[in-house]
Homo-oligomer: A and B are copies of this chain.
């Protein structure tokens, strides 16, 4: 099974972990650098870095390097796609292939 579902499954994986959900929520108010995120989240620095990698690889978050810092922000386009995906599920029995 190597289809479009595995693509979406990968994106949804970004949302499967509470630390990552918290990061996404923090990014909702705008771009943040890793050190700011680290203050708010209850994990160590290597663990946060691991989660940020998952978020970036899934496409949900952008990384922008500037000097020593890495600034993260939401990729709102992919969030709109996810929103559409879920809306199609909600939309009343229209028999359209997802």
- Chain A residues packing against B (C-beta within 8 Å): 1, 3, 5-6, 8-9, 12-13, 15-19, 21-22, 24-25, 27-30, 42, 74, 76, 79-80, 82-83, 86-91, 93-95, 97-98
Q: A29-B93, A93-B29 are in contact. Are A17 and B9 (CB under 8 A)?
A: yes
Q: A83-B83, A86-B83 are in contact. Are A5 and B29 (CB under 8 A)?
A: no
- Jot down 5 A-B pairs with beta carbons below 8 A, ordered by A: A6-B18, A25-B89, A25-B97, A28-B88, A28-B98
How far, in angstroms, from A91 to B24 measured CA to CA in the complex? 13
Using A15-B15, A25-B98 as known contacts, list a sample of 14 further A-B pairs with CB atoms less than 8 Å apart, ordered by residue number in A. A1-B18, A5-B18, A5-B21, A6-B18, A8-B18, A12-B12, A16-B16, A25-B89, A25-B97, A28-B91, A28-B98, A30-B93, A76-B90, A79-B89
